[in-house]
Amino acid sequence: MEETGGVKLLGFWVSPFAQRVKWALKLKGIQYEYTEEDIYNKSPLVSKLNPVYGKVPVLVHNGKPISESIIILEYIDEVWKQAPLLPQDPYERAQARFWAKFAEEKVRQSVWEAVCSSGEEKQKAVKSAVEAFEEFEKELKRRGTKFFGGETIGFVDIVAGCISYQLAVHEEVGSIKILDSSKFPAISEWIKNFLNHPLINEGLPQKDQMFAYFSKRSKEIASRKMSHKTA
Amino acid sequence: MAEEVKLFRTWSSGYALRIVWALKLKGIEYETIFEDLTNKSPSLLQYNPIHGKVPVLVHDGKPVCESLVILEYVDETWKHNPLLPQDPYEKSMARFWANFGDDKLMKSIWQLFIAREKDQDVAAVEALENLKLVEEQLKGKKFFHGETIGYLDLAFGWFADFVSILEEIMSLKLVDGERFPHLSSWIQHFMDAPVIRDCWPPRDKMIIKYQVMREKYLAAATPK
């Protein structure tokens, strides 16, 4: 990866965080060079570009690296003004940022925690996830639009979007059930609309590959937790 | 039409202080509502039904929650005395470090604060590593924002106060001038800045509050 102009993305095939950035770049029609990083065997490039966290995704624009997916999304939206992801109005922007944070911290994270835990901890995490979904469902219903941001895909849709193609896999891996379509009709409809968009559906990881990966990854995390407890 | 701005806060919340400072820096008049989080007002629960937390900024009846989100809202609504850098890359860096502060730094400082004596050395390692990273960010600058106080200074504001509280309660020096010259200097400048210094919660009350909290954690951690 040379230090030249242009847009480069360092990612990992199954990372929902990298996927957010890919979606944003595609929706804005931004050409970029993609480099796949094996997070189990990280190249020196990752620590060079993201010395604080050593993680992907990292967006490099004009030689300057930006990390943390939500921060990258904001950067992309500010630099490339076509197909805006965030609304223009400051209050609506604040609401979008609030819900994006909620989608990341309460929706996505609690599902993953439920997958990686067992027993009482797992039950607690599932309960948190369901509660988060209930709030998300309420807000989607209240807005009454096709996507969170309106008639087109926006900031919150992209941040929450990982559940559209990974939730079912997580539920299977973790032997949990969160998205009951009769209980969450608005979310179910939103997922359908989201995945219906050609740029969103294009190039998503295969279900069986995701299943294999998340099975392995969740077991690693679960055993790490156990060893911390018994240490 | 006169604007109506209200801020829901507690006497001690560092997150709420960010907004107090931001509104002061922008010269915005507002009404303060102090909350007791053990007995939340119906208004707070109405304006922040999901988290029920402070701060909440209510502008002409419309609530904004989450302190960093509120800071950006304040900056976008009242455009004078900008808090965030104009350049998108610099803005990203400010957001990145604010998140680092709230996420990694705060967690590691807290882990040190509640660590049992035998665990303190290990806890200190991570805290010090994170402090080193923040120290780097201040090189050549008076404030994170440059010559004046900005978003990232407000985001780290809790830290300026909490460090001295932790140091007093634990009788240790965490941010020493030799190892962290820039951070020490920033703390001094920030604590003394006219807009900042009149807003600090009473120190003796803070010491008691955190001492009690620490004792609770230490008691819970002690094997029976």
CATH number at residue B18: 3.40.30.10
Following DSSP, what letter does each residue of B126-149 receive, concatenated? Answer: HHHHHHHHHHHHTTT-SBTTBSS-
Q: Is residue A65 part of a domain?
A: yes
Query: Which chain B residues touch A52 with a CB distance below 8 Å?
Result: 96, 100, 104, 133
For A192-230, b/e burial (b = at least 16 CB within 10 A) is: ebbeebeebeeebbeeeebeebbeebbeeebeeeeeeee
- Residue of chain B minimizing CA distance to A67: B96
Specify which residues B62 forms β-bridges with: B59
Q: Which residue has the tokens 């707070």?
A: B44
Domain end call among A79, A99, A119: A79
**Residue B10: which domain range?**
5-77
The CATH number assigned to the domain holding B124 equals: 1.20.1050.10
Count how many domains chain B has.
2
For strand A33-36 and strand A7-11, is the pairing parallel, antiparallel, or unpaired? parallel
Query: Does residue B173 sit in the same domain as residue B101?
Result: yes
pLDDT in tens, A59-109: 999 999 999 999 999 999 999 999 999 999 999 999 999 999 999 999 999
Q: Considering just the CA atoms, what is the radius of gyration of chain A in Å?
A: 18
**Band (B223; pLDDT cuts 50, 70, 90):** confident
pTM of the model: 0.96
Q: What number is the average pLDDT over the span B2-19?
A: 95
Tell me whether residues B73 and A79 touch, CB distance under 8 A: no
**What's the confidence (pLDDT) of residue A1?**
44
Co-location of B66 and B102 in the same domain = no
Q: Are residues A73 and A106 in the same domain?
A: no
Taking a contact as any Cβ pair under 8 Å apart, which residues of chain B between 78 and 117 contact chain A? 88-89, 91-92, 95-96, 99-100, 104
| A116 in the same domain as A198 | yes
Instruction: Calculate the alpha carbon distances from A21 to A56, A180, B218 in Å.
Output: 11, 28, 42
Question: Which parts of chain A sit beneath pLDDT 70?
Answer: 1-5, 229-231
Indicate if A121 and A70 belong to the same structural domain: no
Class of residue B56 by CB neighbours under 10 A (exposed 0-12, middle 13-18, buried 19+) = buried
Instruction: Please check whether residue B83 lies inside any domain of the structure.
Output: no
Q: Of A46, A79, A112, which closes a domain?
A: A79
pLDDT at B221: 85
- State the pLDDT at residue A5: 57
- Shared domain for B115 and B37, answered yes or no, is no
Shared domain for B63 and B95, answered yes or no, is: no
pLDDT score of B183? 98
Q: Do residues A157 and A55 both lie within one domain?
A: no
Q: Mark whether B93 and B56 lie in a shared domain.
A: no
CA distance from start to end of chain A: 42
- On whether both A42 and A129 belong to a single domain, the answer is no
Nearest CA to CA, how far is A132 from chain B (Å)? 9
Enumerate the β-bridge partners of residue B33.
B8
- Please identify which residue in the block is written with the tokens 């829901």: B8
Residues of chain A contacting B72 with CB distance shorter than 8 Å:
93-94, 97
How many folded domains does chain A comprise? 2
Phi, psi of A34 (to 5 degrees): -105, 135
Q: Is the residue at A221 inside a domain?
A: no
A91·B91 Cβ contact <8 A: no
Q: Is B47 part of a structural domain of the chain?
A: yes
Q: Which of B71, B96, B103, B104 to mutate to test the interface with A (most CBs of A within 10 A)?
A: B96
Alpha-carbon distance A117 to B201, whole Å? 40
List of E strands, A81-151: none
Torsion of CA A34, A167, A137, A57, to 10 degrees: -20
- Residue numbers of A between 113 and 142 with CB closer than 8 Å to B: 135
Distance of CA B75 to the CA centre of its chain: 17
Q: Are residues B157 and B183 in the same domain?
A: yes
Q: Would you call B88 and A91 a contact, using CB atoms and an 8 Å cutoff? A: no
- Sorted by sequence, the CB contacts under 8 Å of residue B218 that are 6+ apart come out as B114, B116
Residue A85 forms part of a structural domain: no
Same domain, A134 and A113: yes
pLDDT given at position A231: 53
Are B147 and B67 contained in the same domain?
no
10 Å CB burial of residue B64 (0-12, 13-18, 19+) is: buried
**In the structure, what pLDDT confidence band is assigned to residue B29 with cuts at 50, 70 and 90?**
very high
The answer to whether the CB atoms of B69 and A97 lie below 8 A apart is yes
Residue B1 confidence (pLDDT): 52
Residue B222: band (very low, low, confident or very high) from pLDDT cuts 50, 70, 90: confident
Cα–Cα distance for residue pair A20/A16, rounded to 1 Å: 6
Are residues B213 and B152 both part of a single domain? yes
Residue-averaged pLDDT of chain B: 96
Final residue of a domain: which of B77, B96, B118?
Answer: B77
H, E, C per residue of B151-167: HHHHHHHHHHHHHHHHH
Any domain includes A133:
yes
Same domain, A54 and A112: no
Q: Are residues A144 and A211 in the same domain?
A: yes
* Co-location of A71 and A94 in the same domain: no
Is B198 in the same domain as B110?
yes
Please give the C-alpha separations between residue B152 and each of A18, B128, B148, in angstroms, as whole numbers: 26, 20, 11
Interface A–B counts its CB contacts (< 8 A) at 56
Which position has the higher pLDDT, A230 or B216?
B216
Q: Which domain holds residue A167?
A: 90-216
For residue A128, give the CATH number of its domain: 1.20.1050.10
Residues A165, A137 within the same domain: yes
Residue A228 has what pLDDT? 75
User: Are residues B42 and B148 both part of a single domain?
Assistant: no
CA distance B12 to chain A (A): 23
Same domain? For A99 and A73 the reply is: no
Are the Cβ atoms of A93 and B72 closer than 8 angstroms?
yes
* CATH number, domain containing residue A47: 3.40.30.10
pLDDT digits (tens, 9 = 90+) for B167-212: 999 999 999 999 999 999 999 999 999 999 999 999 999 999 999 9
Q: Are residues A111 and A210 in the same domain?
A: yes
